[in-house]
């Protein structure tokens, strides 16, 4: 065989070997993920805030950061993503989608999930039953049909309120009738008490008691105590006692009654609670006003406004840990919800996590809709590059799973 023929054979062999090598590399990409040669994308962080609120729905705005540990972008056409927000294990919002494209490093997905406001009464019931404590859980999971496994990310936050403890007081306060029939003060209230009763799906009762002292030589009768309860001006309860009490001369009597907050009105209150124009974002005023009907020995009755006993307490929540974004816009004060806890971080102990959501219509407690706000070519990513994680990943060099 002459030299030219030998050179041709060798050259052809080298080309075939090179082509075979390329095919092996390309064909082994999927296996590389399974073998751990390439890393599995995961969720690195989730940040939430409340957006637009209507009478029926509340928008949860989410920035979900996907971490791609590989030196090349990845097309996740075979990946399913789920995302949920729960409060005391009650699902408030859910989203999900299939297929997105990410670059190397971190990619931030901007998501809008709408939760139904009729999820608020069940949450409120659980909050009161749990001693006015709520655990907010953010769960995100990404699963791949090709890899046959998923990576989960969970973050939790504790919020706490204390609406009634300040009502408990042993301060002595006079009750003035402002009537020519008697000398003031007609009565004294030496103690007030309040606590939550047995909460039901329909009602949140507040059990109250006034320890009333009669300084007069004749017995007085308190034939009725009435009350009005509002939260940010939304009427939550209005009523009066079912029975009267006789306060003996120079003696004390405990007057007990129960108010009942109407849970069906909680979703209406929730809209005001998130509206910064009402009282500040995630800030509400609880107000309880009282009056008493006093019957004197002569048989005359006088209705007395109990202005000294009007109870006001501020309800402040910071559900997603928005911090400085949660403030009383009217008064310029921050609105942290008492001794809130910090994020618990990833449950798998890794710096990653594992899921994303956007651009789909899903079910929540009554249904949610997720819409991507960012601008990748597929409508899923808003940024993410190998250098700084702030640019949209390109289609060049993207490996499909």
| DSSP-assigned letters across all residues of 7-56 | HHHHHHHHHHHHHHHHHHHHHTHHHHHHHTSSPPPEEEEEEEEEEEE-SS
pLDDT attached to residue 254: 96
Task: Look at residue 29 and tell me if it is in a domain.
Answer: no
One domain for residues 176 and 91: no
Residue 141 has a pLDDT of 78
Is the residue at 362 inside a domain? Answer: yes
- What is the tally of structural domains in the chain? 2
Confidence at residue 288, expressed as pLDDT on a 0 to 100 scale:
97
Check whether residue 386 and residue 328 sit in a common domain: no
Q: What is the pLDDT of residue 388?
A: 38
**190 and 230 together in one domain:** yes
- The CATH code of the domain that includes 355 is 2.60.40.10
Tell me the HSE value of 218 on the side-chain side, using a 13 A CA sphere. Answer: 11
226 and 212 inside one domain? yes
Same domain, 291 and 313: yes
Residues 122 and 211 in one domain: no
Position 116 scores a pLDDT of: 92
Averaged pLDDT, groups of 10, the chain, 401 residues long: 54 47 44 57 84 94 81 65 89 80 78 90 97 95 64 89 96 94 93 96 96 96 96 96 93 95 96 95 96 93 95 94 53 37 36 32 36 32 35 31 32
State the residue range of the domain holding 357. Answer: 39-161+339-400
pLDDT of 109 reads 77
User: At which residue do the structure tokens 């942290």 appear?
Assistant: 336
pLDDT of residue 44: 83
Q: Are residues 240 and 300 in the same domain?
A: yes
DSSP letters spanning 357-394: --SEEE-SSS-EEEEE-S--TTS--SB--TTTS-SPPP
pLDDT value for 79: 62
């Amino acid at each position: 065989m002459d030299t030219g023929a030998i050179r041709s054979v060798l050259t052809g062999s080298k080309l075939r070997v090179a082509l075979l090598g390329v095919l092996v590399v390309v064909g082994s990409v999927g296996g590389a993920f399974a073998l751990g040669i390439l890393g599995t994308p995961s969720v690195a962080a989730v940040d939430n805030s409340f957006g637009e609120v209507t009478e029926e729905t509340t928008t949860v705005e989410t920035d979900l950061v996907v971490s791609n540990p590989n030196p090349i972008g990845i097309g996740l056409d075979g990946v399913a993503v789920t995302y949920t927000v729960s409060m005391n294990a009650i699902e408030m919002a859910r989203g999900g989608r299939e297929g997105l494209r990410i670059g190397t490093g971190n990619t931030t997905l901007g998501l809008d999930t709408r939760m139904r406001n009729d999820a608020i009464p069940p949450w409120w019931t659980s909050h009161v039953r749990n001693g006015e404590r709520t655990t907010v859980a953010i769960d995100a999971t990404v699963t791949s049909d090709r890899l046959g496994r998923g990576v989960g990310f969970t973050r939790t936050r504790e919020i706490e309120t204390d609406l009634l403890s300040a009502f408990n007081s042993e301060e002595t306060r006079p009750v003035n009738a402002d009537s020519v029939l008697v000398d003031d003060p007609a009565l004294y209230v030496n103690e007030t008490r309040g606590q939550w009763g047995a909460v039901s799906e329909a009602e949140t009762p507040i059990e109250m008691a006034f320890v009333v002292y009669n300084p007069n030589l004749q017995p007085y009768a308190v034939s009725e105590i009435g009350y009005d309860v509002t939260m940010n001006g939304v009427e939550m309860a209005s009523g009066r006692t079912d029975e009267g009490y006789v306060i003996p001369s120079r003696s004390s009597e405990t007057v007990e009654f129960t108010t009942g907050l109407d849970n069906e009105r909680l979703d209406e209150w929730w809209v005001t609670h998130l509206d910064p124009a009402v009282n500040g974002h995630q800030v509400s005023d609880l107000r309880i006003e009282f009056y008493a009907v006093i019957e004197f020995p002569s048989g005359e009755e006088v209705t007395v406004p109990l202005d000294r006993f009007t109870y006001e307490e501020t309800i402040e929540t910071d559900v997603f840990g928005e911090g400085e974004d949660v403030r009383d816009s009217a008064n310029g004060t921050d609105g942290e919800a008492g001794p809130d806890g910090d994020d618990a971080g990833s449950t798998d102990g890794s710096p990653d996590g594992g899921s994303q959501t956007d651009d789909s219509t899903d079910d929540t407690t009554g249904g949610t809709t997720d819409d991507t706000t960012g601008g990748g070519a597929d409508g899923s990513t808003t940024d993410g590059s190998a250098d700084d994680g702030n640019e949209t990943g390109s289609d060049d060099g993207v490996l499909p799973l």
